[in-house]
Amino acid sequence: MKLSASMEKALNEQYVKELYSAYLYLSMSKDMKREGFTGYASWLKIQHDEELEHAFKISDYIEDREGVTEFGAIDAVTQHFDCPCQVSEAALKHEEFISDSIRSLFKQARAEGDLETEVFLQWYITEQVEEEANAHEIVDGFKATEDDKAAFYSFDQSLKGRKE
């Protein structure tokens, strides 16, 4: 079953947002590595990889529904960070933005009666709950330890344990 033109366009826009997410997390990872926060740098690099998977999943879905993946412009990442607290807060804000975008897509699919896309987007809705929870946990961890250098370092290193 072919996607509507409006849904194909919206999914392609989300595809670019997911690619930007990967680009953003890679930039954040490089900033944290440069600043010596190797645990968080590792965590962010894995997040980059996950965001690419999210993008590819959307692209595959578009094509499975007889659509064409469009390669829109990916915005430049212009902000650099020197503190994990700033990165974690920016990451949380970004995940909230992505969650809003996914919810809008879901509402569009529902309004168009596109049940298949609704079902497809359920996975992203569930994933965003996890993404925001992880982001909150990291913000809280860095905030709770920022006045204790040893605890701050220990929290950073604990983030290296992320496997996927």
- Name the binding residues: 18, 51, 54, 95, 128
Q: Which secondary-structure segment (H or E) carries 111?
A: helix 84-112
Residue 145 token pair: 């330890």
Residues of each annotated binding site for Fe cation? 18, 51, 54, 95, 128
Amino acid sitting at position 136:
H
Cα separation of 92 and 159, whole Å?
16
C-alpha closest to that of 152 among 138, 131, 163, 136: 138
Cα separation of 113 and 118, whole Å?
9
CA distances from 50 to 22, 69, 71, 72, 79 (A): 8, 19, 19, 20, 21
